[in-house]
Structure 1
Amino acid sequence: MNDIADHGVRFGRIAPMVPVKDIGRALDFYTRVLGFTKTFENGNPVGFIILERDQGELHLTLQPTHKAAVFNVAHLLVDDVDALHAVCKQHGVRIIKSLQDKDYGLRAFVFEDPDGNRIDVGQVI
């Protein structure tokens, strides 16, 4: 009985934890550009924030010495990838991989947040 499903355990949401050097700058980006809403913060000064939008949830954690990874740290599925791509371009967000149809059934692109965290965005086609 090594299979967790055999025990009847169901998984709920999984929210990526995104490290940021400047939590105020990150909060501004994710709320102003991507439309998330802050639903929780902790610490004095604030060192942790929960953001939500529709069914998506993202956790920001203050890490002053953070060095961004060279790989994607989160994958976001949306219902209009072209619109989100346009918003990112309008706000001068750095696009790492251009918008294109992938052979695995997604239309996708990758952007960097202000801390260099790479977010892969896709829409099922």
Structure 2
Amino acid sequence: MSQSTLNDDELFGEAASEMREDVEESLAEAWDELPDPDDVWETDADNVLGVLNGLRSALDVGDAEDHLRDAKKWFTMGQRADAFDDADDLEAELEDLEEVIEDISSAGEQVGELTSTIPGLRSTLEEAAGDDDEDEE
């Protein structure tokens, strides 16, 4: 098919289809980057700090945020160009993915706080136990 046989509507339809595919592909890549549920749930650590460090590492979303950004960029462009016949499914998936990433990031921050708090707490408890031992003597 020569380029002269394509009219503007056909070209726009083709571009809209490609834009939707780009959004869907970026969404799929973002979902794939999310942590594996078993990595978040299971551990081989010997102590609480090891568990927390493992969990913090497991809660890394990798490049999911970058893929989400790409999906949102192409989605916004497509919406503003009125290129999508029905974009409700894409919009809902974008919102779902964004919420999941926010939840994972929030959990990671909480685990990070615990990771930095637990060693100090242990030291405090060891000192308190040492004080108790001295008082008993």
Q: Normalising by the residue count of structure 2, what TM-score does the alignment of the two structures yield?
A: 0.21
Q: Which has a greater percent of helix? A: 2
Q: Which has the higher contact order (CA 8 A, sep 6+)?
A: 2
The normalised TM-score by structure 1 is 0.23
For the pair shown, the structure with the greater C-alpha radius of gyration is 2
Going by fraction, where is strand more abundant, 1 or 2? Answer: 1
